[in-house]
Amino acid sequence: MAMKITMIGTTIKKCGTVFSVGDGDVDIKLVRTKIVDCETAILQRDPIGALTALGLPSNVPHELVVEALNALYIKQPASVEEKAEVVKSSRLGAFIQHAANATAITQGLVALSPALIQSLLPMLN
């Protein structure tokens, strides 16, 4: 069942995040609504779809993914081999090392652009 949010004639000012929603169906309807001076209008948390697309198991602790993504982001620019070593030496690398698709997961993480890493990080916090 989708979460439904309806706001009519509302003004939201000076806030961090207007809507913080989990993974799943969300139906947000805004009518004559103003969002002013807020950092984020809609923040999607727990991006299970994105993590699954990378081949990560659903039970992977998000803090391990955040640590690995931050380390990859800081390592820019780097060769594919250097970035793969960053993932393998992280706590996430230890978590996935025995997974049948550990190589594919590492390759997927290494292929992420810095911009995509930046867009994923807020979803995981």
Tens-digit pLDDT string for the chain (125 aa): 567 889 899 999 998 888 887 766 678 888 998 989 988 887 776 656 777 878 888 788 989 999 999 999 998 889 999 999 999 999 999 999 988 899 999 999 999 888 888 888 887 77
pTM score, two decimals?
0.64
**Torsion on CA atoms 84, 90, 76, 54, rounded to nearest 10:** 60
pLDDT at 27 (0 to 100): 82
Backbone phi, psi, residue 68, to 5°: -65, -40
pLDDT at 45 (0 to 100): 67
pLDDT at 124 (0 to 100): 78
pLDDT at 59 (0 to 100): 85
